[in-house]
Amino acid sequence: MQSNSPTMGTLYETMLGDRLANRPLRLALTVLGGSALIALSSKFQVPFWPVPMTMQTLVILGLSMALGWRLAGLTLLAYLAEGAAGLPVFAGTPEKGLGLAYMAGPTGGYILGFLLAALLCGWLAERGWDRNPLTTMAAMLLGNIAIYVPGVLWLGTLVGWDKPVLDWGLYPFLAGDFVKLLLAAALLPACWKLARRLRG
């Protein structure tokens, strides 16, 4: 990784080494494993106020920053393809529907936002934003914005802007997202320190 390069590498590459990290089989397993981790995180809830907090956005944004934008994008595309095919990978599935019908429902904009946020956070991480707490928090904040903008826009379009769209689709989640920003700000820089120590 050259210091004068616009990209600085990823945590994934640093942990495994460039040659090992970029082997086709390992890349495929990483994509499938990442999509499975995202699906599992959508089912896991932590009691929180004012609504239970899922770990999905933390996993999506943190994983994306560890993998970089290309591999993160492939992982999110795999996750979306699994959902479109009818696998119960989204929050609330299968109880609230499956496949494309679910993706076109009220949470469809947030699902699109997952992909946008993964690309953005992965791109920022390749430029070193995941190496210290402040820039990690900034990247995660931008990632959350990339999720909420299409999410709220789609929700408002679907249910009507005369409804309390922000009360339904934004405000209840802000406190939990702030906690996740703090967690990411602690975890990602710590993982970088560990990776450098292991690589010597």
Domain ranges of the chain: 11-199
What pLDDT, in 10s, does the model give residues 18-63?
Answer: 666 678 888 999 999 999 999 999 998 888 876 778 899 999 999 9
Is the pLDDT at 85 greater than 80? The verdict is yes
Q: Which two tokens stand for residue 149?
A: 């903008």
Q: Span 64-92, mean pLDDT?
A: 96
Neighbours of 121 (CB within 10 A): 31
Q: Which two tokens stand for residue 122?
A: 């992965």
Least confident interval from 4-18, 50-64, 121-135, 164-178: 4-18
Mean pLDDT for the chain?
Answer: 91
Is the pLDDT at 167 greater than 70? The verdict is yes
The pLDDT assigned to 45 comes to 85
Is the pLDDT at 184 greater than 60? The verdict is yes
Question: Under DSSP, is residue 54 helix (H, G, I), strand (E, B) or coil?
Answer: strand
Is the pLDDT at 3 greater than 70? The verdict is no
The pLDDT assigned to 4 comes to 40
The pLDDT assigned to 7 comes to 60
The pLDDT assigned to 18 comes to 64
Question: Under DSSP, is residue 189 helix (H, G, I), strand (E, B) or coil?
Answer: helix
Alpha carbons 98 and 90: distance in angstroms, whole number: 8
Alpha carbons 87 and 134: distance in angstroms, whole number: 37
Q: Which two tokens stand for residue 115?
A: 């992909």
Please report, for residues 42, 59, 111, 112, 193, the alpha-carbon distance to residue 54 in angstroms, rounded to integers and kept in the order given: 6, 10, 14, 17, 27
Is the pLDDT at 6 greater than 70? The verdict is no
CATH for the stretch 11-199? 1.10.1760.20
